[in-house]
Amino acid sequence: MKRQREDHREASIIYRATVTDAISHEQVAHFTFSAKSIEDARVRGWRIAGSRFGNDIHVRVERLSK
């Protein structure tokens, strides 16, 4: 948990990733994280989701705050 708070402090923009199963199209999970830009957020969101849920997923990343 401490690492997560430190991550939010390093970058100023908070993003939320929504993970959807590619086969059933059901929402699997969502999580928040910080990144410096939308490009970094997309890469980081896919990396986190892939390590947690595997390959057959779709990840949607949206900006929550500045």
Q: Which tens digit of pLDDT belongs to each residue from 23-47?
A: 999 999 999 999 999 999 999 999 9
**Would you tell me how many other CB atoms lie within 10 Å of the CB of residue 41?**
22
Domain positions in the chain are: 2-65
Q: How far apart are CA 41 and CA 28, in angstroms?
A: 19
Taking the CA of residue 18 as centre, how many other CA atoms within 13 Å lie in the half-sphere pointing to its CB? 8
Residue 55 clears pLDDT 90, i.e. is over it: no
**Would you tell me how many other CB atoms lie within 10 Å of the CB of residue 43?**
13
Q: How far is CA 35 from CA 28, 51, 57, in A?
A: 22, 18, 21
Question: What would the pLDDT profile of 2-16 be if each residue is shown by its tens digit?
Answer: 555 555 455 579 999
pTM above 0.85, yes or no: no
